[in-house]
């Protein structure tokens, strides 16, 4: 029988901090996003950073970008273990001629190499923070096919699943979009999940 076959639930324990942290191995989240106001010493670009439900540490991401809201949403539901990858979405010189959206998307996707960047930086988590994320997300980018494809590649390499946003239009289009992946490593969410914003008195997708 293969040596890697496992019956039951596998637990990972991190004991490098003041108290050991235990969590189910398959529940570790890999989150890739932007946070232009973040403390660069705590969240360097394209580097796995382990978050274990610490709201105080999450505050060092600032308020802008996709990471702060994503982490808040996760921690509001459960004190999950999250591997965070912060990417550099700042456009290069001559910003008046630069497409900021494409710059951010390229940073999110990243590339495999030395060093790994963007989504591919999640592959370094095992060697740097001693856990492997198995649930891969890139909020506000995963509805774009190129980002979704990169998430799926990462999920396949890590033995996990990529949570992909659908087109958020019709059921038929969602079904057709899911067929374009054709792999079991993708989990499509459509329509988009909405969270109620009490301050604005409205739901936000």
pTM over 0.85: no
Residue-wise pLDDT for 19-42, tens only, equals 454 555 568 999 999 999 999 999
In a domain, 171, yes or no: no
In a domain, 174, yes or no: no
In a domain, 201, yes or no: no
In a domain, 66, yes or no: yes
In the structure encoding, which two tokens stand for residue 170, read together?
């019709």
Burial of residue 97, with CB atoms counted within 10 A of its CB: 0-12 exposed, 13-18 middle, 19 or more buried: exposed
Rounded CA separation 177/180 (Å): 5
Rounded CA separation 196/205 (Å): 9
User: Tell me, what DSSP letter sits at residue 181?
Assistant: T
Rounded CA separation 119/141 (Å): 11
- The parent domain of residue 33 ranges over 11-166
Residue-wise pLDDT for 144-157, tens only, equals 999 999 999 999 99
In a domain, 105, yes or no: yes
**Number of domain units in the chain:** 1
Residue-wise pLDDT for 178-189, tens only, equals 999 877 899 999
């Amino acid at each position: 029988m293969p040596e890697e076959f496992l019956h039951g639930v596998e637990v990972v324990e991190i004991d490098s901090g003041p108290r050991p942290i235990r969590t189910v191995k398959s529940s570790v989240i890999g989150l890739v996003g932007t946070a232009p106001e973040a403390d660069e010493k705590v969240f360097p670009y394209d580097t796995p950073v382990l978050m274990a439900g610490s709201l105080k540490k999450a505050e060092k991401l600032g308020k802008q970008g996709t990471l702060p809201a994503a982490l808040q949403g996760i921690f509001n539901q459960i004190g999950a273990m999250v591997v965070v990858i912060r990417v550099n979405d700042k456009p290069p010189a001559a910003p008046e001629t630069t497409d900021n959206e494409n710059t951010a998307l390229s940073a999110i996707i990243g590339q495999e190499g030395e060093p790994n960047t963007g989504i591919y930086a999640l592959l370094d988590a095992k060697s740097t923070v001693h856990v492997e994320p198995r649930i891969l997300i890139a909020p506000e980018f995963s509805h774009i096919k190129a980002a979704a494809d990169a998430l799926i590649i990462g999920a396949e390499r890590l033995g996990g699943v990529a949570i992909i946003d659908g087109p958020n239009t019709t059921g038929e289009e969602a079904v057709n979009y899911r067929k374009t992946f054709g792999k079991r490593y993708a989990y499509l969410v459509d329509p988009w999940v909405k969270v109620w914003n009490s301050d604005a008195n409205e739901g936000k997708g």
